[in-house]
Amino acid sequence: MIQELISNFWRNGKDLQEEGKFQASLKILLKEVRHILDDSNPLAKSIDRDDSHEVMAKISIEENNMDLAEILLLDSEKSKM
């Protein structure tokens, strides 16, 4: 289910090159991911706390959601620039 949401995220292709559109799409993705996760899930808790995307990426890696982690880390890298 999360993989389907990630595929939909990447379908925006060129639109994601604009920072504002990337941020808006990422916000929607996280909202959709959160919607399908149980309240006890570590990633759900991280989203609810509004943790940094870097923290969420680490949790995603631990949960074997590598594609989501990659998106979150891309955003973390953009923030550091």
Three-state helix/strand/coil letters over the chain: CHHHHHHHHHCCHHHHHCHHHHHHHHHHHHHHHHHHCCCCCHHHHHHHHCCCHHHHHHHHHHCCCHHHHHHHHHHHHHHHC
* pLDDT tens for each residue of the chain, 81 residues long: 888 888 888 877 666 667 678 888 999 999 999 999 999 999 999 999 999 999 999 999 999 999 999 999 997 665 554
Residue 45 pLDDT:
98
Alpha-carbon torsion angle 24, 26, 32, 38, nearest 10: -140
Residue 1 pLDDT:
82
